[in-house]
């Protein structure tokens, strides 16, 4: 490293070895030591720090209690489920009482149900410890629900930094606009965009209303996805884009092939220039 | 998944497996049996298989004629020494190739292995002359060095393969947890690679133990291991089959016992459950 410095908590950490930076990391693959019991896995960083045995025991017990691992301390990683292994990896991180945690996609190896559960557990742990956590994820739901501040990166370039709602309300460019929010924002080019003084306009599915007659745009219903609380209606033949997705609250009875009118809420339309940057 | 096999078919399979096993084991079994025969029975035609007068006389004669323990000790030192020395060189080499590979790592590995394709006799003269100059002829240290060198490619390859199965992230985690290179290798890499290291050691000990080309050509009396001990009993005339067999049995017995006791350790895998 020649021209940059890494600062952690105000201290220059550029030449500090990873272990001395006061950071703890949870790996995507957990990277547990397979030949050690859960207790020894969690104790490893403390043993390396040459801590007293009584203090190590105390900290391991405390961590195990926080993470519901007390009954598993004598098992080996191979005898644990995915979620338990994940908790051991987190345990190994919290005993070090670091200045910040680094989580490298910690939930991506878990199945969907477990992922939602662990998401909550990590958020609760964060509340309790009050320590900074840097959490890398590809899952925008994870990002939106867990973060105080999101940094959106694309190919190593920071696209935008802000709170989840800032990113949702005022995405700085097309990439962020398309990344945050589910279903994805609709992008419209051409005449409709030009009329509003932009190269591209974007509107979220929840900001378009379905009207029986008229509407600003018209189209044919393709597929309607019923989620119970909401319905996602995919509308074709609007002349705007291949598909316009509309989010309608509750159950609606639009069928494939129905002609419907769409009324975008003008104040919720995002405008982008030819470079994909936000206008206004 | 177990297939539904009929009892008759199963019996046939079992018989075939036993036949194949015996066929492979026969060249070892035969000298062991012969070593308990009298010289007369040893060359009897048709050969007697089990019903002969069992005798330990050959072992007594062999022990009387030559000092078995001295050869054994030489074999132990040469096989053990070349293996230990090989490990000292190969562990760091395999570590760097497995965890810090470069563009040329694969080529280096292939090149190392290619040296095993060379006929050993092709370098006999240069090595023999070097040994004379350096005063290494008929010394144990000389043999330790030569056997270490000829088996090194295999040790490095085996360790490389085992190390490759250890996820690099676990070593990164250890570094993150504050382990230095020494602790990383001692507490994390070695315990995880132990089955691999054990089987590498065992295989190398066996290879070095059985190595007959260099041990016969580079030794005379002082450093002669068990291979030379056996060779001294093969003579063009006289009735020596039973004694030769007794000498062979004594030479292979230690390695046979070692292999028997360590086979479990060889099969065991420890890495399961480390990641995912």
Q: Min CA distance, A208 vs chain B (Å)? A: 42
Do residues A69 and A196 share a domain?
no
- The two beta strands, A150-154 and A100-104, are unpaired
Do residues A128 and A258 share a domain?
no
- Report the 10 Å Cβ neighbour count for A215: 16
pLDDT at A16: 85
Please judge whether A78 and B272 are an interchain contact, meaning their C-beta atoms are less than 8 angstroms apart: yes
Q: How far is the C-alpha of A192 from the C-alpha of A141, rounded, in Å?
A: 30
Do residues A121 and A210 share a domain?
no
pLDDT at B39: 80
Best of B167, B168, B170, B176 to substitute, by most chain A Cβ atoms within 10 angstroms, is B176
Please judge whether A31 and B167 are an interchain contact, meaning their C-beta atoms are less than 8 angstroms apart: yes
Domain end marker among A100, A126, A148: A148
Residues of chain A in contact with residue B179, where contact means CB-CB under 8 angstroms, are 19, 44, 48
Please judge whether B176 and A78 are an interchain contact, meaning their C-beta atoms are less than 8 angstroms apart: no
Do residues A122 and A213 share a domain?
no
Say yes or no: ipTM exceeds 0.85. no
Residues of chain A in contact with residue B167, where contact means CB-CB under 8 angstroms, are 29, 31
Q: Is residue A158 part of a domain?
A: no
Q: Is residue A181 part of a domain?
A: no
Q: Are A26 and A94 in contact (CB under 8 A)?
A: no
pLDDT at B252 over 60: yes
Q: Min CA distance, B167 vs chain A (Å)? A: 8
Please judge whether A77 and B273 are an interchain contact, meaning their C-beta atoms are less than 8 angstroms apart: yes
The C-alpha angle with vertex A156 and arms to A118 and A271, in degrees rounded to 5, equals 90
Residues of chain A in contact with residue B186, where contact means CB-CB under 8 angstroms, are none
Please judge whether A34 and B169 are an interchain contact, meaning their C-beta atoms are less than 8 angstroms apart: no
Please judge whether A33 and B270 are an interchain contact, meaning their C-beta atoms are less than 8 angstroms apart: no
Tokens 């859960």: give the residue.
A38
Best of B165, B170, B178 to substitute, by most chain A Cβ atoms within 10 angstroms, is B178
Look up the domain containing A251 and give its range. Answer: 186-272
Work out how many CB contacts closer than 8 A connect A with B.
77
Burial A185-214 (b: 16+ CB within 10 A, else e): bbbbeeebbeeeebbbbbbbbbbbebeeee
- Report the 10 Å Cβ neighbour count for B258: 15
Q: Min CA distance, A60 vs chain B (Å)? A: 15
Name the strand (E) or helix (H) holding B22: helix B7-34
What average pLDDT does the segment B128-147 reach?
Answer: 91
Do residues A197 and A243 share a domain?
yes
Ordered per-residue pLDDT tens for chain A, 280 residues: 568 888 888 888 888 888 888 888 898 888 999 989 999 999 999 999 899 999 999 999 998 988 888 999 999 998 998 888 988 998 998 898 888 999 998 888 888 888 888 888 889 889 988 899 999 998 888 899 999 999 999 999 999 999 999 999 999 999 999 998 888 999 999 888 888 889 999 999 999 999 877 788 989 999 889 888 899 999 998 888 889 999 998 877 788 888 899 999 989 999 999 999 998 7
Q: How far is the C-alpha of A262 from the C-alpha of A241, rounded, in Å?
A: 13
Do residues A40 and A143 share a domain?
yes
Residues counted in chain B:
276
Burial class (CB in 10 A: 0-12, 13-18, 19+), B30: middle
Q: Is residue A2 part of a domain?
A: no
Residues of chain A in contact with residue B188, where contact means CB-CB under 8 angstroms, are 33
Q: Are A85 and A7 in contact (CB under 8 A)?
A: no
Task: Point out the least confidently predicted range of A2-16, A57-71, B12-26, B86-100.
Answer: A2-16
Express each pLDDT in B38-74 by its tens digit.
Answer: 887 777 777 777 777 788 888 888 888 878 888 899 9
List the single residue in A45, A78, A79 with the smallest CB-CB distance to B178. Answer: A45
Q: Are A24 and A101 in contact (CB under 8 A)?
A: yes
- Helix spans in A139-279 (H): 140-146, 164-169, 174-179, 191-195
Q: Which residue has the higher pLDDT, B195 or A48?
A: A48
Here the tokens at position A207 are: 């900001």
* Chain A residues within 8 Å of chain B (Cβ atoms): 17-20, 23-25, 27-35, 44-45, 48-49, 76-80, 82, 85, 92, 96, 109
pLDDT at B4: 66
Q: Give me the number of domains chain A comprises.
A: 2
Here the tokens at position A251 are: 């159950």
Shortest CA distance to B66 belongs to which of B240, B205, B211, B214?
Answer: B240
Shortest CA distance to B200 belongs to which of B123, B94, B44?
Answer: B94
Residues of chain A in contact with residue B183, where contact means CB-CB under 8 angstroms, are 48
pTM value? 0.69
Q: Is residue A202 part of a domain?
A: yes
Do residues A121 and A247 share a domain?
no
Residues of chain B in contact with residue A27, where contact means CB-CB under 8 angstroms, are 169, 172-173
Question: Across chain A, how many H-helices and E-strands are there?
Answer: 8, 15
Please judge whether A34 and B276 are an interchain contact, meaning their C-beta atoms are less than 8 angstroms apart: no
Q: Are B120 and B146 in contact (CB under 8 A)?
A: no
Q: Min CA distance, A139 vs chain B (Å)? A: 19
Shortest CA distance to B213 belongs to which of B121, B133, B90, B111?
Answer: B121
Q: How far is the C-alpha of B189 from the C-alpha of A129, rounded, in Å?
A: 32
Please judge whether A29 and B192 are an interchain contact, meaning their C-beta atoms are less than 8 angstroms apart: no
Contacts of B139 (CB under 8 A, 6+ apart): B222, B223
What average pLDDT does the segment B21-30 reach?
Answer: 90
Residues of chain B in contact with residue A49, where contact means CB-CB under 8 angstroms, are 178
Best of A13, A21, A33 to substitute, by most chain B Cβ atoms within 10 angstroms, is A33
Please judge whether A19 and B179 are an interchain contact, meaning their C-beta atoms are less than 8 angstroms apart: yes
Q: Is residue A44 part of a domain?
A: yes
pLDDT at B275: 43
Q: Are A47 and A60 in contact (CB under 8 A)?
A: no
Residues of chain B in contact with residue A34, where contact means CB-CB under 8 angstroms, are 170, 192, 270-274
Q: What is each CA distance from A156 to A151, A153, A159, A160, A236, in whole angstroms?
A: 11, 6, 9, 12, 35
Q: Min CA distance, B173 vs chain A (Å)? A: 6
Do residues A28 and A128 share a domain?
yes
> Domains plus CATH for chain B?
69-267 (1.10.3720.10)
Burial class (CB in 10 A: 0-12, 13-18, 19+), B27: exposed
Q: How much is the mean pLDDT over chain B? A: 84
Q: Min CA distance, B194 vs chain A (Å)? A: 10
Q: How far is the C-alpha of A61 from the C-alpha of A74, rounded, in Å?
A: 12
Domain end marker among A148, A178, A208: A148
Residue of B nearest to A43 (CA): B177
Give me the CATH number covering residue A73: 3.40.50.300
Residue of A nearest to B172 (CA): A31
Q: Is residue A234 part of a domain?
A: yes
Residue B271 banded pLDDT, cuts 50, 70, 90:
very low
Residue of B nearest to A28 (CA): B276
pLDDT at A38: 94
Do residues A136 and A21 share a domain?
yes
Shortest CA distance to A86 belongs to which of A59, A65, A60, A68?
Answer: A68
Residues of chain B in contact with residue A24, where contact means CB-CB under 8 angstroms, are 176
Do residues A103 and A223 share a domain?
no
Shortest CA distance to A86 belongs to which of A121, A135, A112?
Answer: A121
Here the tokens at position B63 are: 């022990």
- The two beta strands, A23-26 and A11-12, are unpaired
Please give the radius of gyration of chain A, using alpha carbons only, rounded to the nearest integer.
24
Residue of A nearest to B170 (CA): A31
Q: Are A280 and A179 in contact (CB under 8 A)?
A: no
Q: Is residue A78 part of a domain?
A: yes
Handedness of CA A105, A111, A113, A114 (dihedral sign): negative
Phi-psi region of A250 (alpha: psi -120 to 50; beta: other; left: phi over 0): left
Do residues A136 and A196 share a domain?
no
Give me the CATH number covering residue A248: 2.40.50.140
Do residues A203 and A98 share a domain?
no
Q: How far is the C-alpha of B5 from the C-alpha of B9, rounded, in Å?
A: 7
Residues counted in chain A:
280
Q: Is residue A126 part of a domain?
A: yes
Domain end marker among A99, A121, A148: A148
pLDDT at B270: 38
Express each pLDDT in A176-210 by its tens digit.
Answer: 999 988 889 999 998 888 888 899 999 999 999 99
């Amino acid at each position: 490293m020649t021209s940059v410095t890494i600062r952690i908590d105000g201290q220059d950490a550029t030449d500090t070895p990873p272990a001395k930076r006061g950071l703890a990391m949870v790996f995507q693959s957990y990277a547990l030591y397979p030949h050690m019991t859960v207790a020894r896995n969690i104790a490893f960083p403390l043993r390396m720090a040459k801590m007293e045995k009584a203090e190590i025991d105390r900290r391991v017990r405390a961590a195990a209690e926080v993470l519901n691992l007390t009954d598993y301390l004598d098992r080996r990683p191979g005898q644990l489920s995915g979620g338990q292994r994940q908790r051991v990896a987190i345990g190994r991180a919290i005993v070090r009482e670091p200045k910040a945690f680094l989580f490298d996609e910690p939930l991506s190896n878990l199945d969907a149900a477990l992922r939602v559960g662990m998401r909550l557990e990590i958020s609760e742990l964060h509340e309790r410890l009050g320590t900074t956590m840097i959490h890398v994820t590809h899952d925008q739901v994870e990002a939106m629900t867990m973060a105080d501040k999101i940094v959106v990166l694309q190919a190593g370039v920071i696209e935008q930094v802000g709170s989840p709602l800032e990113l949702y309300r005022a995405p700085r460019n097309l990439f962020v606009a398309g990344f945050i929010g589910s279903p994805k924002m609709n992008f419209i080019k051409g005449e409709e965009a030009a009329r509003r003084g932009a190269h591209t306009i974007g509107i979220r599915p929840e900001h378009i209303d379905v009207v029986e007659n008229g509407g600003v745009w018209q189209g044919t219903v393709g597929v309607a996805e019923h989620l119970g609380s909401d319905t996602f209606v995919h509308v074709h033949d609007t002349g705007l884009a291949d598909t316009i997705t509309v989010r309608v609250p509750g159950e609606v009875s639009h069928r494939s092939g129905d002609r419907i009118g769409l009324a975008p809420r003008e104040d919720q339309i995002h405008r982008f220039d030819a470079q994909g940057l936000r206008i206004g | 998944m177990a297939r539904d096999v009929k009892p008759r078919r199963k019996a046939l399979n079992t018989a075939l497996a036993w036949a194949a096993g015996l066929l492979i084991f026969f060249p070892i079994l035969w000298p062991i049996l012969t070593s308990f025969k009298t010289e007369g029975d040893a060359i009897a035609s048709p050969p007697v298989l089990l019903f002969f007068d069992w005798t330990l006389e050959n072992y007594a004669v062999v022990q009387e004629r030559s000092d078995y323990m001295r050869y054994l000790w030489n074999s132990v030192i040469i096989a053990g020494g070349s293996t230990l020395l090989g490990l000292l060189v190969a562990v760091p080499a395999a570590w760097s190739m497995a965890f810090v590979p470069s563009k040329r790592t694969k080529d280096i590995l292939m090149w190392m292995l290619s040296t095993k394709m060379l006929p050993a006799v092709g370098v006999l003269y240069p090595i023999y002359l070097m040994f004379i100059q350096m005063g290494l002829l008929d010394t144990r240290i000389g043999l330790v060095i030569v056997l270490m060198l000829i088996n090194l490619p295999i040790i490095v390859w085996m360790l490389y393969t085992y190390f490759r199965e250890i996820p690099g992230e676990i070593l990164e985690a250890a570094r993150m947890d504050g382990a230095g290179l020494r602790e990383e290798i001692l507490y994390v890499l070695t315990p995880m690679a132990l089955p691999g290291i054990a089987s590498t050691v065992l295989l190398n000990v066996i290879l070095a133990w059985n190595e007959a080309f260099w041990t016969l050509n580079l030794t005379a009396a002082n450093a002669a291991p068990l291979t030379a001990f056996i060779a001294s009993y093969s003579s063009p005339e006289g009735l020596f089959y039973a004694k030769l067999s007794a000498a062979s049995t004594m030479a292979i017995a230690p390695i046979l016992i070692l292999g028997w006791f360590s086979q479990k350790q060889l099969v065991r895998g420890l890495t399961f459950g480390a990641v995912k």
